Amino acid sequence: MNFNSLKQGIISLSDIFRKNAVIAVNTHLTIRNWLIGFYIVEYEQNGEDRAKYGAKLLQNLADGFSEDGLSYRNLKLYRRFYHCYPQVGSHVPLFLEKHFGKNRQSPIAQLQMTENNVFTIGQSPIAQLNESNTLPAEKLIRQLSYTHLTLLFPIDNPLKRLFYEMECIKGTWSVRELKRQIDSLYYERSGMSQNPALLSRIVQENSETGNMLDAIKSPFTFEFLGLKAKDVVYESDLEQALIEHMEDFLMELGYGFCFEARQKRIVIGGEYYFCDLVFYHRVLKCHVLAEIKVGSFSHEHFGQLKTYVNYYRKEVMCPDDNPPVGILLVTDKNNALVEYAVAESDSDIFVSKYVLELPTKEQLIRFVNDEFSRMSSSF
């Protein structure tokens, strides 16, 4: 063995263990969520006092939990997961025995919710699907993250869902790529195509691939591990540093910025988004949302910021607040750009006031350029 082979051996060993660790976290997360769905469905069918809670069952459950991963929205997803993927039940007993042994006193080992009614995993009415219309549970769980699966829950057609599962696994698609293909009606286009194999090859050649490490960055994983939004992995060290310095910069300007949150989680249409910085401006009486992007400007960046601004106007803004405003800072090595986004309602009334009270574009561009010059050499 020489030095290079030693180095390569250590790198390979590290990669193998890291990959297995990611798979283990995702597998435990996915199985846990399926089991929670199982418990909920079993209670809805056989719980002794189920009539007392009725349609408010999930909300009452969520109100009793402090864990973010057990929110009302997530409990609904877990129940849907159980209904969509009953075949996971065939894998659960082996998984539980492998990781938890045969301890009959363990709640997860018993897997039954009532004294007199033993519920067999995987025997829900939907479990009667034809075997050919489902992927093996172990393959599904190991090769798709739970975040991937949440995009497939809304698909009622089992064959259509299976199509996206197989294409996603074949192309090792990122979560974003899976969403893009669903939104672009890839399944329907494939059905209408005279040469589906050619279409598949073209799609796969131009698709964005992901890796299992993306599963660790998922909000579902952070909730499962008990981490907070501020612990989310940023896109780059440079971007993280810019966000941290931007917070200090705005506070030091003395314009009336009151800091509220960094990496503020927003749920829109059942999906997680994170706004880099959120302030409340005591002079303007409105929220100010700041997004920082390292790279060239794209209309997608501005559209994302506008979505956050409109969300705050609809869901967060108080009756006596002014419409929220957004600040988008985009930088690459040669240019810095600042754009403002104002909520659609009454934007013509408040935009002039915003211009007077917020930092100017020149100030913000100077900040971005100075910070980029100061820090880029360190990364």
Q: DSSP string of 116-164?
A: S-PPPTT-SGGGGS-GGGS--HHHHHHHS-HHHHHHHTT---HHHHHHH
Q: Which residue has the higher pLDDT, 142 or 126?
A: 142
pLDDT at 83 over 90: yes
Q: What does the pLDDT read at residue 124?
A: 37
CATH label of the domain that carries residue 332: 3.40.1350
What band does 228 get if pLDDT is binned at 50, 70 and 90?
low
Q: Are residues 318 and 240 in the same domain?
A: yes
- Weakest mean pLDDT among 156-165, 199-208, 235-244: 235-244
Q: In degrees, to the nearest 5, what angle opens at C-alpha 353 toward C-alphas 352 and 356?
A: 95
pLDDT over 90 percentage in the chain: 22
Q: Which amino acid is at 232?
A: V
Domain count, the chain: 2
**Under a CB-based contact definition with an 8 Å cutoff, are residues 117 and 160 in contact?**
no
- Is the residue at 221 inside a domain? no
pLDDT at 216 over 80: no
Q: Are residues 106 and 190 in the same domain?
A: yes
Q: What does the pLDDT read at residue 122?
A: 44
Q: Are residues 122 and 48 in the same domain?
A: yes
**Total residues found in the chain within this entry:** 379
Q: What does the pLDDT read at residue 347?
A: 53
- Is the residue at 55 inside a domain? yes
- Is the residue at 224 inside a domain? no
- Is the residue at 292 inside a domain? yes
- Is the residue at 125 inside a domain? yes
Last residue of a domain, one of 216, 248, 278: 216
Residues 6+ apart with CB under 8 A from 304: 273, 291
Q: Which residue has the higher pLDDT, 344 or 243?
A: 243
Q: Are residues 97 and 187 in the same domain?
A: yes
pLDDT at 343 over 80: no
Q: What does the pLDDT read at residue 128?
A: 37
pLDDT at 233 over 80: no
Locate 345 and state its tokens: 């309602």
- Weakest mean pLDDT among 24-28, 157-161, 351-355: 351-355
Locate 308 and state its tokens: 């956050």
Q: Are residues 189 and 71 in the same domain?
A: yes
Q: What does the pLDDT read at residue 103?
A: 58
The DSSP element (H or E) to which 215 belongs, if any, is: helix 213-216
pLDDT, tens digit (0-9, with 9 covering 90-100), for 365-378: 888 777 777 765 55
Q: How far apart are CA 275 and CA 273, in angstroms?
A: 7
Q: What does the pLDDT read at residue 294?
A: 74
Q: Which domain holds residue 234?
A: 229-376
The 3-state secondary structure of 239-275 reads HHHHHHHHHHHHHHHCCCEEEEEEEEEEEECCEEEEE
Rounded mean pLDDT, 265-292:
85
Last residue of a domain, one of 156, 186, 216: 216
Q: Please state the pTM of the whole predicted model.
A: 0.65
Q: Which residue has the higher pLDDT, 211 or 33?
A: 33
What band does 67 get if pLDDT is binned at 50, 70 and 90?
confident
Q: Are residues 265 and 118 in the same domain?
A: no
Q: Are residues 154 and 207 in the same domain?
A: yes
Q: Are residues 174 and 200 in the same domain?
A: yes
Q: Are residues 304 and 240 in the same domain?
A: yes
**Under a CB-based contact definition with an 8 Å cutoff, are residues 125 and 104 in contact?**
no
Last residue of a domain, one of 216, 240, 267: 216
Rounded mean pLDDT, 251-272:
80
- Is the residue at 222 inside a domain? no
Q: How far apart are CA 86 and CA 315, in angstroms?
A: 35
Q: What does the pLDDT read at residue 130?
A: 42
- Is the residue at 148 inside a domain? yes
- Weakest mean pLDDT among 126-135, 198-207, 275-284, 341-350: 126-135
What band does 149 get if pLDDT is binned at 50, 70 and 90?
very high
> Which residue in this structure is represented by tokens 């435990």?
28
The conformation of residue 377, written as its DSSP 8-state character, comes to T
pLDDT at 84 over 70: yes
Q: Which residue has the higher pLDDT, 107 or 129?
A: 107
Range from 75-79, 218-222, 331-335, 348-352 that averages highest in pLDDT: 75-79
Rounded mean pLDDT, 196-208:
89
Q: Are residues 136 and 75 in the same domain?
A: yes
pLDDT, tens digit (0-9, with 9 covering 90-100), for 300-321: 888 889 999 999 999 999 999 9
Rounded mean pLDDT, 133-147:
87
Q: Which residue has the higher pLDDT, 243 or 2?
A: 2
Q: What is the mean pLDDT of the chain?
A: 80
pLDDT at 362 over 80: yes
Q: Are residues 281 and 372 in the same domain?
A: yes
- Is the residue at 223 inside a domain? no
Q: What does the pLDDT read at residue 129?
A: 37
> Which residue in this structure is represented by tokens 């669903």?
182
What band does 219 get if pLDDT is binned at 50, 70 and 90?
confident
Q: Are residues 40 and 187 in the same domain?
A: yes
